[in-house]
Structure 1
Amino acid sequence: MECNRGGGPGVKGGMRQRISLLAACGLVAVGLTTPTAMAAESADPVFRLAGQSALALRPYPATGSPQPVAMSFHLEDTGSFGGEFTFTVDRAAVAGIASVKESSAAPQKCVENGTKLVCKDKGPRPGVDLVATAEKGAAERAFGAVKVTGTAAGATVTPAETTLSIGGPDLIMRKLPLKADPKPGESQALPLAFRNEGTQSAKGVILELEATRGLELPERYDNCTYRTGRTSNTVVCTVEGEFEAKATYELAGDSPLHLKAGANALNEWFTYGIFPAEAPKQATDAKAPDAAGAATTAGRKLVARKKAEAAPAPLRAPDLNEADNRRVARFTVDNTADFAAEPLTVKGAAGTTVKAVVGARNNGPAWVANHGSATPAAVVDVVLPQGVKVVTAPAACRAVQPAQYRCATGPVVTENEKLAFPFELKIEKAVKDAKGAITVGGLDAKGEPKRHDFDRVLTNNQAAFTANPTATPTKSPSPSASGSASPSASKSASPSAGSSTGSTTGNNASAAAGGRSGGPLASTGSTAGLVGLAGAGLFAVGAALYLSFRRRGNGGAHA
């Protein structure tokens, strides 16, 4: 505990506060425990209210009803806290600008109290769901903030607010006429175009592109940032200029974009969207060093000067309807992926426990992904040899029969990826040349194993699983390095006493790769990560190459 013994204004309240603090410090120093000290050690949890920072409302129409916009404030994770929260929605600052009411589509938990709504909620994600509409007579560009506070016994809630404004841009991305079944290596142009159907100009736009692993965006521009991930590649471009309402824009001829199907392409997604850019805040200019920092005949001096703040990452400005800002194209590429099972051999006397790794691999050339789904990209069925029992199985594997296990990958298996599922086995009975099998494939609509339709090499989908062979086993070719992580093991049976002197060939226990080969593909609906890619220095000085849009129809360039 840190104690402040400094001075301060000589008011009685301040003096009492300092005395109280000194007394508390003294009590702690001598080791006395008081209820107050105990309470300080177990401070109340702090929960943060999350909501939209800004929303744009369509002006009140001349005929018909105003268009509602959903807004919400929620506590993301209250953990084990089971208390009730009270949320107060203060609408005073938007009076005459916007009407804010509780959403009729959600359970009702609010009561009106003048310019405020008082709402009560509890549970894992408590909060309030609201609907905002423009008030009749509200002026274009009028704005105000809705502020929400929260309280709960035994907890602290940080407030949040959403700025509501009347009118704004409404960018609509046009659908691209893309070929849905390109061949590996085939490239097609991306003649991107959008229209501003809003009531105000956009002061710059943010173009967001996301292509799954088998697709390439070959061009590079200085006002774009690029990120390559395991399952997708993202591009974010910030384009300056004024993009007027009721006008249509297309890519400028000197800044084309193309989409290419790679050699590893199979089932691919391409997402493209356009959003208004938030006006950047002015960075503080760096000041030149004073005379003391200049070089002199006496030599150079080490000096420090104020550093210019980095330009902030481009943030989206409100759009009147974000449902039409983004498009998704899906492609089915004529390609193959060859899944191969790896043979496995275990040896040992009766009662021996051995460690063995069941393996398979994707020889490519294509990667395999079940986009937007948790369905495994591949499953490996393991039929145990006679006399062999599972002691410990990986978390990715489950028993489907007493002597049969089924192991599942994640929804993604990349090209040349090795799959490995480490087991602990017990040889209960030493049977010579006992035969089992390891089979790799996919799942049908009913969840049953089947051969992958894109796997046209059938001779290597199954491999032998042999216990105590009398002949020397043939070693399989060395697989490519694994990209998987080791899963945690789960006990499927209690091991009995016995020596651990058995051995395995084929995949061995030193292979640290695990069964699951990756989590679900990142939702293409997520935008915060894409926007956050762009940082300082987007516009380079010199002979830089810029992505730009031009106005369609009158030839006026807007970049």
Structure 2
Amino acid sequence: MRQRISLLAACGLVAVGLTTPTAMAAESADPVFRLDGQSALALRPYPATGSPQPVAVSFHLEDTGSFGGEFTFTVDRAPVAGIASVKESSAAPQKCVESGTKLICKDKGPRPGVDLVATAEKEAKEGASGTVEVTGTAAGATVTPARTTLQIGGPDLVMKDLGLKKDPKPGESQALPLAFRNESTQSAKGVVLELEATRGLELPERYDNCTYRTTGTATKVVCTVEGEFEGKATYELAGDSPLHLKAGANALNERFGYGIYPLGAPQKAADAKRPDAAGAATAAGRKLTARKKAEAAPAPLRAPDLNPVDNKRVADLTVPNTADFAAEPLTVKGAAGTTVKAVVAARNNGPAWVTGTGPAAVVDVVLPQGVKVVTAPAACRAVQPALYRCATGPVVLENEKLAFPFELKIEKAVKDAKGAITVGGLDAKGEPKRHDFDKVLTNNQAAFTANPTATPTKSPSPSASGSASPSASKSASPSAGSSTGSTTGNNASAAAGGRSGGPLASTGSTAGLVGLAGAGLFAVGAALYLSFRRRGNGGAHA
């Protein structure tokens, strides 16, 4: 008989990332540094044969900047006596000395702290727990303490590989038959399901017991399933609450992550610090009052997992799609000695967005004769006196315009002086080349003209099968092709050249962001729910 567990709206989830600020009781002249550590860790029980498995426990300060002083850290191990053995890690530089149930450690630098290892004691029973506390002191500074709860045993959830199709077409949808196994002997009292994907991916379904946090490039979805997930059992997503992953029209290089974690005890919202009614004012017989604002419910808390490395899977998807980068022509006018402002511009005409580990696009600017740069944007640098290279960040959205404002000086008024603006990517050696996904070659380069003698006219629309633009030259004044420039619009009539010798080529990078695109998501109502059912003894999907 199949066991079903429903994921209902009553779980009370809120958006991921909400935090409650900690109020300082009083301001101090000394800098305050926060000691970071894991909130809880699970230790494998002492084995019947062999040595216990160690788990790393680290505590470090946030960046101390120019403080420079030495910190003393005290590790109190008394609360875990008989439960866990806590020692300094032999893999790190030795900073500590034993002092009874305490470790006294000294360190300094940009992120001072202490690295420890913990193992279960032989006599410790499964389910036993204790808390290690680390405090810190330093002359001229205040350190907030940190605590880590160590528990013996716990769930060991393993997310199974979905075997997703790695090259879906734009608009193509595929099912997400999520399945996981609890490899431990201890049950999980509820689980947290986390899904994250890049902008070009969509989840058509939405459920009331999941929360969706979307940014311009990503969305993260967090759902909870309440109930008991027994040890040595496998669970799969029930058919009455399906999930699908759809490649959007803007998809290109995408990433989808999916993970399962034990559900921890509910967190308590911090009490509000302001009074229910304060500073009441009277006007025309009515009182303006303030009341206590209800605090938002916190995000679900993960409980420790015996082996956190297998809780999550990540799939990289390469969608056969295109993005069309187009340079915009630019014209400047002025007499000798004139200083003018000019914006070098390009655009991603889509349909896909572009993301990678380095610049998503670069724009090369060849200055016309007689023109000199007075000030350039921070994103641009001089490759040669007459050649500037501007780099974007790792993301360029579909239909996004790239703008680089320059201040230029016309040192010599040369009529119809020609330069060029070329947009594309970088190869492995850092040289500009056309992106592989950019199939429209005629608009990668546009004219940059100084003091034109003719009235600028718009060129005909480019053809995807048209000839390529010439390679971007590193010389001071290469040819920029025919036709005069304009202050607005695309120049589609770049000079002819071979397709394989276009100015730019693909970066070949894959998406590095995680999240789930908000575009295309829609509510399906409270009647639908997400559930997991226990599978038979046949095992889980590999």
**Bigger shift: residues 246-255 or 40-49:** 40-49
Deviation at 1:227, TM superposition (A): 2.1
Q: Does structure 2 conserve the Cα–Cα contact (< 8 Å) formed by 1:364 and 1:415? A: yes
Distance in structure 2 (CA, Å) of the matches to 1:510 and 1:110 = 70
1:147-177 deviation digits (Å, cap 9, x = unpaired): 1111111111111111101000011000111
- Give the secondary structure class of the aligned counterpart of 2:332: strand
**Bigger shift: residues 36-45 or 19-28:** 19-28
Q: Does structure 2 conserve the Cα–Cα contact (< 8 Å) formed by 1:191 and 1:257? A: yes
Match of 1:401 in 2: 384
Distance in structure 1 (CA, Å) of the matches to 2:92 and 2:46 = 24
Distance in structure 2 (CA, Å) of the matches to 1:544 and 1:24 = 12
**For the structure 1 residues 529 and 402, does the alpha-carbon distance in structure 2 shift closer, same or farther, using more than 3 Å as the test?**
closer
Deviation at 1:49, TM superposition (A): 1.0
Deviation at 1:544, TM superposition (A): 3.2
Distance in structure 2 (CA, Å) of the matches to 1:140 and 1:99 = 15
**Bigger shift: residues 401-410 or 471-480:** 471-480
Deviation at 1:79, TM superposition (A): 2.2
**For the structure 1 residues 517 and 323, does the alpha-carbon distance in structure 2 shift closer, same or farther, using more than 3 Å as the test?**
farther
Q: Does structure 1 conserve the Cα–Cα contact (< 8 Å) formed by 2:384 and 2:476? A: no
Deviation at 1:199, TM superposition (A): 3.1
**Bigger shift: residues 132-141 or 510-519:** 510-519
**For the structure 1 residues 297 and 483, does the alpha-carbon distance in structure 2 shift closer, same or farther, using more than 3 Å as the test?**
farther
**For the structure 1 residues 177 and 354, does the alpha-carbon distance in structure 2 shift closer, same or farther, using more than 3 Å as the test?**
same
List aligned pairs for 1:523-542, cutoff 5 A.
none
**For the structure 1 residues 23 and 257, does the alpha-carbon distance in structure 2 shift closer, same or farther, using more than 3 Å as the test?**
closer
Q: Does structure 2 conserve the Cα–Cα contact (< 8 Å) formed by 1:392 and 1:492? A: no
Q: Does structure 1 conserve the Cα–Cα contact (< 8 Å) formed by 2:432 and 2:505? A: no
Distance in structure 2 (CA, Å) of the matches to 1:57 and 1:16 = 32
Deviation at 1:313, TM superposition (A): 2.2
Distance in structure 2 (CA, Å) of the matches to 1:543 and 1:424 = 57
Q: Give me the TM-score of the superposition, normalised by structure 1.
A: 0.77
Deviation at 1:30, TM superposition (A): 52
Q: Does structure 2 conserve the Cα–Cα contact (< 8 Å) formed by 1:48 and 1:158? A: yes
Deviation at 1:329, TM superposition (A): 0.3
Q: Does structure 2 conserve the Cα–Cα contact (< 8 Å) formed by 1:550 and 1:557? A: no
- Give the secondary structure class of the aligned counterpart of 2:271: coil
- Give the secondary structure class of the aligned counterpart of 2:365: strand
Q: Does structure 2 conserve the Cα–Cα contact (< 8 Å) formed by 1:183 and 1:334? A: yes
Q: Does residue 438 in structure 1 map to residue 421 in structure 2?
A: yes
Deviation at 1:389, TM superposition (A): 0.3
**For the structure 1 residues 247 and 60, does the alpha-carbon distance in structure 2 shift closer, same or farther, using more than 3 Å as the test?**
same
1:266-303 deviation digits (Å, cap 9, x = unpaired): 11000000011112268999999999999999999999
**For the structure 1 residues 546 and 64, does the alpha-carbon distance in structure 2 shift closer, same or farther, using more than 3 Å as the test?**
same
**For the structure 1 residues 32 and 551, does the alpha-carbon distance in structure 2 shift closer, same or farther, using more than 3 Å as the test?**
closer
**Bigger shift: residues 282-291 or 42-51:** 282-291
Distance in structure 1 (CA, Å) of the matches to 2:403 and 2:496 = 5
Q: Does structure 2 conserve the Cα–Cα contact (< 8 Å) formed by 1:346 and 1:354? A: yes
Pick aligned residue for 1:313 from 293, 299, 303: 299
Deviation at 1:442, TM superposition (A): 0.6
Distance in structure 1 (CA, Å) of the matches to 2:25 and 2:3 = 18
Distance in structure 1 (CA, Å) of the matches to 2:450 and 2:109 = 53
1:162-194 deviation digits (Å, cap 9, x = unpaired): 110100001100011111111000000000000
1:294-330 deviation digits (Å, cap 9, x = unpaired): 9999999999999987543211111111100010000
Distance in structure 2 (CA, Å) of the matches to 1:497 and 1:476 = 15
Q: Does structure 1 conserve the Cα–Cα contact (< 8 Å) formed by 2:187 and 2:228? A: yes
Q: Does structure 2 conserve the Cα–Cα contact (< 8 Å) formed by 1:285 and 1:308? A: no
**Bigger shift: residues 69-78 or 386-395:** 69-78
**For the structure 1 residues 116 and 476, does the alpha-carbon distance in structure 2 shift closer, same or farther, using more than 3 Å as the test?**
farther
**Bigger shift: residues 35-44 or 22-31:** 22-31
- Write out the 4+ residue segments of structure 1 that deviate beyond 3 Å after TM superposition: 15-42, 281-312, 475-544, 554-559
**For the structure 1 residues 401 and 160, does the alpha-carbon distance in structure 2 shift closer, same or farther, using more than 3 Å as the test?**
same
Q: Does structure 1 conserve the Cα–Cα contact (< 8 Å) formed by 2:40 and 2:150? A: yes
1:495-517 deviation digits (Å, cap 9, x = unpaired): 99999999966699999999999
**For the structure 1 residues 94 and 492, does the alpha-carbon distance in structure 2 shift closer, same or farther, using more than 3 Å as the test?**
farther
Q: Does structure 1 conserve the Cα–Cα contact (< 8 Å) formed by 2:202 and 2:520? A: no
Match of 1:322 in 2: 308
Deviation at 1:387, TM superposition (A): 0.3
**Bigger shift: residues 414-423 or 41-50:** 41-50
Q: Does structure 2 conserve the Cα–Cα contact (< 8 Å) formed by 1:409 and 1:517? A: no
Distance in structure 1 (CA, Å) of the matches to 2:10 and 2:188 = 57
Q: Does structure 2 conserve the Cα–Cα contact (< 8 Å) formed by 1:342 and 1:476? A: no
Distance in structure 1 (CA, Å) of the matches to 2:48 and 2:278 = 66
Pick aligned residue for 2:112 from 102, 118, 126: 126
**For the structure 1 residues 332 and 289, does the alpha-carbon distance in structure 2 shift closer, same or farther, using more than 3 Å as the test?**
closer
**For the structure 1 residues 223 and 340, does the alpha-carbon distance in structure 2 shift closer, same or farther, using more than 3 Å as the test?**
same
Deviation at 1:386, TM superposition (A): 0.3
Distance in structure 2 (CA, Å) of the matches to 1:401 and 1:246 = 65
Q: Does structure 2 conserve the Cα–Cα contact (< 8 Å) formed by 1:419 and 1:514? A: no
- Give the secondary structure class of the aligned counterpart of 1:323: helix
**Bigger shift: residues 229-238 or 326-335:** 229-238
Q: Does structure 2 conserve the Cα–Cα contact (< 8 Å) formed by 1:412 and 1:518? A: no
- Give the secondary structure class of the aligned counterpart of 2:12: helix
**Bigger shift: residues 227-236 or 171-180:** 227-236
Q: Does structure 1 conserve the Cα–Cα contact (< 8 Å) formed by 2:362 and 2:432? A: yes
Q: Does structure 2 conserve the Cα–Cα contact (< 8 Å) formed by 1:141 and 1:166? A: yes
**For the structure 1 residues 46 and 533, does the alpha-carbon distance in structure 2 shift closer, same or farther, using more than 3 Å as the test?**
farther
Distance in structure 1 (CA, Å) of the matches to 2:147 and 2:467 = 43
- Give the secondary structure class of the aligned counterpart of 2:512: helix
- Give the secondary structure class of the aligned counterpart of 2:5: helix
Q: Does structure 2 conserve the Cα–Cα contact (< 8 Å) formed by 1:208 and 1:530? A: no
Distance in structure 2 (CA, Å) of the matches to 1:247 and 1:60 = 23
Deviation at 1:374, TM superposition (A): 3.8
Deviation at 1:521, TM superposition (A): 23
1:447-482 deviation digits (Å, cap 9, x = unpaired): 000010000000000000000000011258999999
Q: Does structure 1 conserve the Cα–Cα contact (< 8 Å) formed by 2:45 and 2:120? A: yes
Distance in structure 2 (CA, Å) of the matches to 1:25 and 1:255 = 16
Distance in structure 1 (CA, Å) of the matches to 2:416 and 2:136 = 70
Q: Does structure 1 conserve the Cα–Cα contact (< 8 Å) formed by 2:426 and 2:432? A: yes
Q: Does structure 1 conserve the Cα–Cα contact (< 8 Å) formed by 2:329 and 2:485? A: no
**For the structure 1 residues 98 and 540, does the alpha-carbon distance in structure 2 shift closer, same or farther, using more than 3 Å as the test?**
farther
**For the structure 1 residues 142 and 358, does the alpha-carbon distance in structure 2 shift closer, same or farther, using more than 3 Å as the test?**
same
Distance in structure 2 (CA, Å) of the matches to 1:262 and 1:72 = 41
Deviation at 1:530, TM superposition (A): 13
Paired residues, number = 541
**For the structure 1 residues 398 and 417, does the alpha-carbon distance in structure 2 shift closer, same or farther, using more than 3 Å as the test?**
same
Deviation at 1:434, TM superposition (A): 0.4
Q: Does structure 1 conserve the Cα–Cα contact (< 8 Å) formed by 2:386 and 2:477? A: no
Q: C-alpha root-mean-square deviation of aligned residues, in Å?
A: 13.7
Pick aligned residue for 1:495 from 453, 473, 478: 478
Distance in structure 1 (CA, Å) of the matches to 2:123 and 2:305 = 21
Match of 1:116 in 2: 102
Distance in structure 1 (CA, Å) of the matches to 2:117 and 2:507 = 26
**Bigger shift: residues 64-73 or 488-497:** 488-497
Distance in structure 2 (CA, Å) of the matches to 1:529 and 1:159 = 34
Match of 1:141 in 2: 127
Distance in structure 2 (CA, Å) of the matches to 1:344 and 1:331 = 37
**For the structure 1 residues 248 and 295, does the alpha-carbon distance in structure 2 shift closer, same or farther, using more than 3 Å as the test?**
farther
Identity of aligned residues (%): 91
**Bigger shift: residues 256-265 or 291-300:** 291-300
Deviation at 1:88, TM superposition (A): 0.6
**For the structure 1 residues 354 and 244, does the alpha-carbon distance in structure 2 shift closer, same or farther, using more than 3 Å as the test?**
same
Q: Does residue 101 in structure 1 map to residue 87 in structure 2?
A: yes
**For the structure 1 residues 73 and 352, does the alpha-carbon distance in structure 2 shift closer, same or farther, using more than 3 Å as the test?**
same
- Computing the radius of gyration from Cα coordinates, the structure with the larger value is 1
